[in-house]
Amino acid sequence: MKIVLARLCDIAMTLLGAVIAARLCFGETVPHPLLHCLFAAMVAAMVAVVFPGFSIYLSWRGRPLHPLFLRLIAAWVSVQTMASALVLLLGGMHMLSARWLLAWTMLTAALLLATRTFVYSLLRRYRHAGHDLRHVSIIGYGRYFDRVSRDTEGNAASGFRIVDIVELGAVGAEADQSTIDRDLSALKRVHDSIEANAIREVWLALPATAQASLQRCVDALRDTLIDLRLLPDVEALGVEEHGRALAYIGRPAISLSPVALPCEGITGKEVFDRVFAALALLALSPLMLGIAVCVKCSSPGPVFFRQRRKGLNGRPFSIYKFRSMRIHAPEQGVVRQATRDDPRITPVGRFLRRTSLDELPQFINVLRGEMSVVGPRPHAIEHDELYRKQISGYMDRYRVKPGITGWAQVNGHRGETERVEKMAARVEHDLYYLRHWSFALDLRIVFATILRGFVGTQAY
């Protein structure tokens, strides 16, 4: 929502700058008003398309604002240059006022900077009052670790709140086993408290030479969904000036977590998901009504089957499916996957599962914002707890919304995963999707699902 509002604000400031510049340059009568209006509309459309490419809608929490302002000005000047060049090529430049263009460019630049300054000023006050703070755990050693902890605690306006501080002991090559064991115990405590304290990030403030300790931290927190950042003590190496380019609360930072989808990509994907889901539910409503009647007639019980799954960032939600099995009492804490010739499956349910028509109600989940049309398939929570310890990167699947269909499914990885190798192959495809996401890839998966993804020998 913040990104959408920021983009709408930039477009509004662009058009407001054009109106003010026209009033200052022309007064009441604007020469060639239609041409000037069309040019302003074209520039506003280009702002919507070009600005995200300058990464100005990324989270700027804890980072200095002047690089953002420089990117903002660069984006605006680029848009005006491209628009002017296009009109020049079309031969209409002589009909536009150069004085108006210059005034518009300068006024809009001032408006863009002013609105950003005002918003971030309000945001700092809001965060200083204790709101919109991202919970952080800091792990480290030595004076540098103490300075990072102290600076963060004394700068609530940056948007972070420390909820846990862990000082390690085994950071040198001569560390004994008992010290290493104490560190591992502390890291396990951090791992266990991540969900309880809603910790969003873990910072590792370690000396550049503490490689073994860094590896222990990464291994201990690998199967979590927090953002893991390394804040190395580069000042000890005498390269403080160079580190400022990557400043995070005034210090260089390196992300050790897989990168999720870009913010501008998430916004477009959200719009696509909601529109696609609404149209799909509208178009498929007669089919879904017929399936509901068949399910109800096939065996006693509800039409829909609901089960708790994990969504974006591991938040649980209830997934909807057409019921394909007879009502039975599940074992506590155990999810038994459907197998070939499973006696629990009804004849209608077997057809629905074979054709994946039982998944159609998940468009309701998409419309509610809990799922995406394309993304990694969500697994039962019990399976998540089982496989997160066995498969590296398993939990990274939940850095995006789960999908009705995905890259793994259209590549044949569906159905029962009776061996760890089968689940590992599915996860490998999910992580490929995460690393190579694009709208083109989403459309490719949607078309592949429609053409060949509904029927498969692995679905039963």
Average pLDDT over residues 62-69: 84
Please, what is the average pLDDT of the chain? 83
User: Residue 267: pLDDT above 60?
Assistant: yes
Could you tell me which residues are beta bridge partners of residue 134? 160
Domain ranges in the chain are 2-128, 134-255, 263-453
CB 372 within 8 A of CB 403: yes
Angle at which helix 2-26 crosses helix 33-50, to 10 degrees, equals 150
Work out the number of other CB atoms within 10 angstroms of the CB of residue 57.
19
Fold for 134-255, please state it.
Answer: Rossmann fold (3.40.50)
Dist. CA 373–CA 332, nearest whole Å: 31
What's the CA gap between 166 and 187, in Å, rounded?
Answer: 8
Q: If you search the block for the tokens 């990072």, which residue do you land on? A: 148
181 band by pLDDT with thresholds 50, 70 and 90: confident
| The pTM of the whole model exceeds 0.75 | no
Mean of pLDDT values over 96-100: 82
Distance between CA 396 and CA 313 in Å, rounded?
Answer: 9
Binned at pLDDT 50, 70 and 90, residue 59 comes out as confident
455 versus 303: which is more confidently predicted?
303
376-402 pLDDT, tens per residue? 999 888 888 888 888 888 888 998 899
Summarize the confidence of residues 67-80 as an average pLDDT: 92
CB 432 within 8 A of CB 411: no
Phi, psi dihedrals of residue 322, rounded to the nearest 5°: -70, 135
